[in-house]
Amino acid sequence: MKEYIEFELINTPEEINYKPKTQRWAVQTKEDYTQLGIIKWRNGWRKYAFYPYSETLFEEDCLRFIAKFIEDKTTIHKKGKKNDSTLGKRIG
């Protein structure tokens, strides 16, 4: 689903006193940047999770693509590489 969905890091470190402990990504379509949801840290689960927006639908390949992204980012975070230099870059 790499051809349809992308992830964009949405942290804004330019803001005064903004020091996030975790990162956030917008999940959007590549065609017209329609927002599908957000990936952010879920404290209770100690991992990143996907928060889809209402009225969005996904098929199994899209969900696998999103799940793989979440797994990769959770692994990076747990290894202590929280800032993986993808700020402002679209991934996917």
For the chain, which residues make up each domain, given as ranges? 5-83
Compare 6 and 3 and report the one with higher pLDDT. Answer: 6
pLDDT, position 3: 86
pTM over 0.95: no
Q: What is the C-alpha separation between 83 and 16, in angstroms, rounded?
A: 18
On the question of pLDDT at 1 being above 90, the answer is: no
> Whose CA is closest to 38, among 16, 59, 60, 69?
69
pLDDT top residue among 12 and 79: 79
Give the tens place of pLDDT for each residue, 21-76: 889 999 999 999 999 999 999 999 999 999 999 999 999 999 999 999 999 999 99
10-18 long-range contacts (CB < 8 A, ≥24 apart) are 10/38, 11/87, 13/87
